[in-house]
C-alpha cells in the first residue's frame, strides 16, 4: 500500500476545478475574511459534517467538533473556539448539534471503563447512572441510547450558556442565540430539540437537566414543523376578508 495519499490530492484538484467551473469567484470569496453567522459545536463523527448538513458553503459556519459534542468548562480548545467565535467573529447563533446512534454516548452508557475517553465522557456517564432507573424503563437499548443523545445536547447547551464568554456577551447586549439540535443519520434531517436561549434571564429560568430527563422534549424536524403550521392555519375559504 502506498504511503502517500495521491488519490486524495487528485480528488482535491478535481474538486477545485469543479468549484471554479461552477463559480469562477468561489475561491476569491473564500480568500476574503470569514464572516460566519453560526458556530457549530458538533460530534467528530465522520458522517456528520456541518456544511453538508446545513447546505452552506465554507466560510458560512465556524466549526468545533469533539467526541459526543461535549463542552467541558476546563477544555481550552472548545473555550478558545467559543471565545473567538463570539468576541471576534461576532457570530449570532451557537448550535450544539449531536446525532442519534452516537458511539461516544454509547460508550458513556457502557460498564467498561478506561482512561482518557471515559474521563471525557464522565459528565454523561454520571447523569446516566444518576437516572439509571429512568433509562432502564425505556424498552430497547437503541431507544435508551437515542434518549441519552437528546439529553446530552440539552446538557451541553446549558454548559455553553454558563460560560463567562456567553454571559459577558449577553451582559453587553450582543445578539447571541443558543440552539440545541439533533441529526438523524437514517434520513439526513436535523431536528430542533432546544433549549433556545438568548439572554441570562432565559437561561436562569430553564428547568434543570434532571427535570428534562423525567420530562423529555420532543425533537421536531423542519418538515414536521411546516406540516403543523399548515394544519394549524385556517383554510383559505374560511379566512375573513375585509370589505
Q: Annotated active-site positions, please? A: 43, 45, 47, 99, 102
In which order are the strands placed within the sheet that holds 38-43? 61-66, 38-43, 93-99, 177-183, 190-192, 220-221
Angstrom CA distances, 18 to 27, 59, 79, stand at 12, 18, 36
E strands along 146-222, which residues? 177-183, 190-192, 220-221
Angstrom CA distances, 170 to 90, 145, 167, 178, 238, stand at 12, 34, 5, 11, 44
Assign 42 to helix, strand or coil: strand
CA distance 127 to 119: 14
Assign 43 to helix, strand or coil: strand
Amino acid at each position: 500500500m502506498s504511503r502517500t495519499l495521491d488519490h486524495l490530492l487528485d480528488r482535491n484538484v478535481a474538486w477545485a476545478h469543479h468549484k471554479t467551473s461552477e463559480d469562477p469567484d468561489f475561491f476569491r470569496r473564500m480568500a476574503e475574511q470569514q464572516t460566519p453567522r453560526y458556530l457549530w459545536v458538533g460530534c467528530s463523527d465522520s458522517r456528520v459534517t456541518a456544511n453538508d448538513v446545513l447546505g452552506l458553503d465554507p466560510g458560512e459556519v465556524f466549526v468545533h467538533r469533539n467526541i459526543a459534542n461535549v463542552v467541558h468548562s476546563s477544555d481550552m480548545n472548545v473555550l478558545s473556539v467559543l471565545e473567538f467565535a463570539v468576541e471576534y467573529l461576532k457570530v449570532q447563533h451557537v448550535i450544539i448539534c449531536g446525532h442519534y446512534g452516537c458511539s461516544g454516548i454509547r460508550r458513556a452508557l457502557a460498564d467498561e471503563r478506561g482512561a482518557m475517553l471515559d474521563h471525557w465522557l464522565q459528565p454523561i456517564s454520571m447523569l446516566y447512572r444518576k437516572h439509571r432507573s429512568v433509562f432502564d424503563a425505556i424498552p430497547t437499548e437503541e431507544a435508551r441510547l437515542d434518549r441519552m443523545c437528546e439529553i446530552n445536547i440539552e446538557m451541553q447547551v446549558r454548559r455553553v450558556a454558563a460560560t463567562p464568554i456567553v454571559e459577558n456577551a449577553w451582559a453587553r447586549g450582543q445578539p447571541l442565540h443558543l440552539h440545541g439540535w439533533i441529526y438523524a443519520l437514517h434520513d439526513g434531517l436535523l431536528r430542533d430539540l432546544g433549549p433556545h436561549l438568548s439572554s441570562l434571564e432565559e437561561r436562569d429560568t430553564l428547568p434543570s437537566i434532571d427535570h428534562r430527563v423525567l420530562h423529555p422534549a420532543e425533537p421536531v424536524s423542519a418538515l414536521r414543523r411546516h406540516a403543523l403550521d399548515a394544519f394549524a392555519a385556517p383554510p383559505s375559504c374560511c379566512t375573513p376578508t375585509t370589505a
